[in-house]
């Protein structure tokens, strides 16, 4: 009994007479192409986070926008690449995709740096819009390489599963190497713009090599591609970076203050801290005054203290502590070691014997701080756009309580605007963990917290009556008012801390 004609045709691996199928690539070459293309997409995705942070901040929404845009590009590229692979000269298509993807990669840096300044303050939609413009085209074109290569290799339907599976595995391996290599090697090794330049140039070179060996590209076309790549490379290299220095975590700048002799440290486009190396007791930001006043009102004046600082920044408060309370011990938990080096080189930080700096995530670093070893814990790791959520939860508060001596003070800086959802949730979390919680904030016309910068004070014992009282025109809201403001807010915990959704970053 003979097979149906259709089934027989599908099982027949031999091309029909006169059928002109493109010659398959050697398996190592095919694997290399999908490896490189998929790896480049993931490298761009991670680098996009660093490119966007100075303009729109590093929030959950920013990261989600970038991941979503990359996935949209991957999906669109896979579908369109497969469609055109069935209808065009596949080798020529692959060459065009590699070179086109490389050229679009070189455009990502100029695009972000051109659009970014106008997006400051526009929030999550700005992050999504820039990402769609800058990342999706390159991701889509590069993601079309894998289906095109698969089409080129599929000449024997009996081996289709093996071929597709092998190519998929190599593409996934490229994505993994691109992800880990970017995070652990490339970002610490070179500026983001230089990394994007290398990726784009590598893709264009791969396309030229394949096009030349396949005789898809003429010498004149190759020259044209090189000229175009060179022009875009110059554009990428000449795009002005908003950063004086790019660290593993931050875009770092220094801004001088004409009216004062000190400097502002700027992280990811946001003022982070002010310091005057010649006058370390000078505090320019209201919240630092509030924290200093709270420390002074809860401890004998000029008496040395043991203080843990969560976040270093420009080391404003550790320097203040040394200047006003000689003999104090300061332990600073700072996630970004390169910021510490920058502050030492540019902002006159000269470490002293009783200052210890632990570089790493504070949630891990605090585990090395002994029980009952601190008179004060200062939380100063938040900025207007970036909130480390794991330093807001009840589990974090338990670590702070463990470190503090009985009667010790936890003072925490936060930035939130009305309706103050994040501030209320943090107050509710503190009320769970401490016996006395107070809020220092500028008031609105009705005498309620106005929003913006605020300082929370907490202790396991009743705080002195004057703790943080009316510093710099602010009001100190006592425990009863704090409980009223936080009523109905859900305390934050490790398995539920939606700080990016609760935070309001602009005045409503």
**CATH H-level superfamily of 251-502:** Vaccinia Virus protein VP39 (3.40.50.150)
* Residue with tokens 């713009």, as numbered in its chain: 193
Q: Pick the residue with more confidence: 267 or 16?
A: 267
Helices 160-181 and 145-153 pack at an angle, to 10 degrees, of 150
Q: pLDDT band for position 17 (50/70/90)?
A: very low
Q: How far is CA 222 from CA 34, 89, 171, 226, 324, in A?
A: 22, 18, 27, 6, 68
- Output the six-digit token pair for 282: 């000078």
Residues 192-250: pLDDT tens digits?
Answer: 888 999 999 999 999 999 999 888 898 899 899 899 889 988 887 777 788 888 888 88
Q: How far is CA 270 from CA 150, 415, 502, in A?
A: 47, 12, 19
* Residue with tokens 């691109």, as numbered in its chain: 178
Q: Pick the residue with more confidence: 484 or 63?
A: 484
Q: Is 263 helix (H, G, I), strand (E, B) or coil?
A: strand
Residues 420-429: pLDDT tens digits?
Answer: 999 999 999 9
Contact 138, 73 (CB under 8 A): yes
For residues 190 and 380, give the distance between their C-alpha atoms in angstroms, rounded to a whole number: 28
Choose among 85, 94, 98, 95: nearest CA to 218: 95
For residues 437 and 103, give the distance between their C-alpha atoms in angstroms, rounded to a whole number: 56
Residues 207-244 as b/e (b if ≥16 CB within 10 A, e otherwise) read bbebbeebebbeeeebeebeeebeebbeebeebeebbe
Compute and round to an integer the Cα radius of gyration of the chain: 29
The least confident of 46-60, 151-165, 222-236, 490-504 is 46-60
Choose among 295, 288, 293, 292: nearest CA to 314: 288
Non-local (6+) Cβ contacts of 68 within 8 A are 128
For residues 395 and 399, give the distance between their C-alpha atoms in angstroms, rounded to a whole number: 7
Maximum Cα interatomic distance, the chain, rounded to a whole number of Å: 102
Note the pLDDT of residue 116. Answer: 78
Q: Where in the chain is the domain with CATH 1.20.1250?
A: 23-242
Q: pLDDT band for position 124 (50/70/90)?
A: low
**Is the predicted pLDDT of residue 18 greater than 70, yes or no?**
no
Q: How far is CA 387 from CA 81, 174, 326, 430, 487, in A?
A: 40, 32, 32, 17, 22
Note the pLDDT of residue 168. Answer: 94
Q: pLDDT band for position 16 (50/70/90)?
A: very low
Beta bridge partners of 310: 333, 379
For residues 203 and 206, give the distance between their C-alpha atoms in angstroms, rounded to a whole number: 5
Question: What sign does the CA torsion over 227, 233, 235, 237 have?
Answer: negative
Q: What is the mean pLDDT of residues 167-178?
A: 95
Residues 314-358: pLDDT tens digits?
Answer: 999 999 999 999 999 999 999 999 999 999 999 999 999 999 999
Note the pLDDT of residue 54. Answer: 77
Rounded percentage of the chain residues whose pLDDT exceeds 70: 92
Q: To the nearest whole number, what is the mean pLDDT of the chain?
A: 88
Q: What is the pTM of this model?
A: 0.81
Q: What is the phi/psi pair of residue 82, to 5°?
A: -65, -40
Q: Where in the chain is the domain with CATH 3.40.50.150?
A: 251-502
**Is the predicted pLDDT of residue 165 greater than 90, yes or no?**
yes
Three-state secondary structure readout of 321-360: HHHHCCCCEEEEEECCHHHHHHHHHHCCCCCCCCEEEEEC
Q: pLDDT band for position 375 (50/70/90)?
A: very high
For residues 40 and 139, give the distance between their C-alpha atoms in angstroms, rounded to a whole number: 8
Q: pLDDT band for position 20 (50/70/90)?
A: very low
For residues 193 and 232, give the distance between their C-alpha atoms in angstroms, rounded to a whole number: 12
Q: Is 72 helix (H, G, I), strand (E, B) or coil?
A: helix
Under DSSP, the state recorded for 496 is B
CATH class, domain 23-242, is mainly alpha
Which strand (E) or helix (H) includes residue 74?
helix 60-85
For residues 390 and 73, give the distance between their C-alpha atoms in angstroms, rounded to a whole number: 31
Residues 450-462: pLDDT tens digits?
Answer: 999 999 999 999 9
Note the pLDDT of residue 10. Answer: 42
Q: How far is CA 472 from CA 155, 259, 273, 362, in A?
A: 77, 18, 17, 29
Residues 463-507: pLDDT tens digits?
Answer: 987 776 666 789 999 999 999 999 999 999 999 999 888 988 776
CB-hemisphere CA count at 13 Å for 184? Answer: 6
**Is the predicted pLDDT of residue 157 greater than 80, yes or no?**
no
Non-local (6+) Cβ contacts of 12 within 8 A are none
DSSP 187-224: HHHS-HHHHHHHHHHHHHHHHHHHHHHTT-S-HHHHHH
Note the pLDDT of residue 469. Answer: 67
């Amino acid at each position: 009994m003979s097979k149906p004609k259709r089934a027989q045709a599908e099982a027949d691996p031999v091309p029909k007479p006169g059928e002109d199928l493109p010659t398959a690539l050697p398996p190592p070459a095919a694997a290399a192409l999908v490896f490189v293309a998929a790896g480049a997409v993931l490298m761009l995705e991670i680098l996009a986070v660093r490119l966007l942070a100075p303009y729109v901040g590093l929030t959950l929404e920013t990261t989600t926008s970038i991941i979503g845009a990359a996935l949209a590009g991957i999906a669109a590229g896979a579908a369109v690449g497969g469609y055109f692979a069935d209808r065009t000269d596949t080798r020529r298509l692959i060459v065009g995709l590699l070179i086109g993807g490389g050229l679009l990669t070189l455009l990502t840096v100029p695009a972000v740096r051109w659009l970014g300044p106008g997006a400051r303050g526009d929030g999550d939609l700005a992050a999504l819009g820039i990402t769609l413009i800058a990342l999706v085209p390159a991701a889509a074109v590069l993601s079309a390489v894998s289906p095109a290569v698969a089409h080129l290799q599929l000449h024997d339907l009996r081996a289709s599963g093996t071929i597709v599976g092998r190519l998929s595995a190599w593409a996934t391996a490229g994505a993994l190497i691109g992800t880990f290599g970017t995070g652990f090697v490339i970002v610490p090794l070179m500026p983001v713009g230089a990394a994007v330049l290398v990726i784009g140039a590598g893709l264009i070179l791969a396309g030229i090599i394949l096009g030349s060996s396949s005789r898809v590209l003429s010498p004149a076309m190759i020259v044209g591609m090189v000229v175009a790549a060179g022009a875009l490379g110059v554009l990428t290299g000449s795009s002005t970076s908003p950063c004086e220095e790019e660290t593993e975590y931050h875009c770092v700048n220094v801004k001088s203050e004409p009216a004062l002799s000190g400097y502002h440290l700027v992280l990811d486009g946001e003022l982070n801290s002010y310091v005057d190396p010649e006058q370390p007791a000078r505090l320019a930001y209201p919240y630092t005054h509030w924290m200093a006043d709270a420390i002074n009102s809860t401890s004998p004046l000029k008496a040395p203290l043991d203080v843990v600082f969560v976040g270093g920044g420009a080391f404003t408060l550790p320097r203040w502590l040394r200047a006003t309370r000689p003999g104090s011990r300061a332990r600073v938990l700072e996630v970004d070691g390169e910021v510490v080096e920058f502050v030492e080189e540019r902002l006159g930080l000269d470490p002293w014997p009783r200052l210890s700096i632990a570089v790493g995530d504070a949630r891990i670093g605090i585990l090395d701080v002994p029980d009952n070893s601190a008179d004060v814990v200062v939380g100063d790791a938040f900025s207007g756009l970036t909130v480390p959520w794991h330093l807001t939860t009840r589990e974090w508060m338990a670590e702070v309580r463990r470190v503090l001596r009985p009667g010790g003070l936890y003072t925490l800086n936060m930035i939130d605007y009305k309706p103050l959802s994040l501030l209320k949730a943090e107050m509710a979390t503190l009320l769970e963990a401490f016996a006395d919680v107070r809020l220092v904030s500028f008031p609105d016309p009705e005498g309620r917290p106005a929003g913006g910068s605020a300082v929370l004070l907490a202790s396991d014992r009743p705080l002195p009556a004057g703790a943080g009282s009316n510093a710099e025109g602010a009001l100190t809201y006592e425990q009863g008012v704090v409980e009223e403001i936080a009523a109905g807010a859900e305390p934050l915990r490790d398995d539920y801390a939606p700080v990016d959704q609760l935070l309001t970053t602009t005045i409503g």
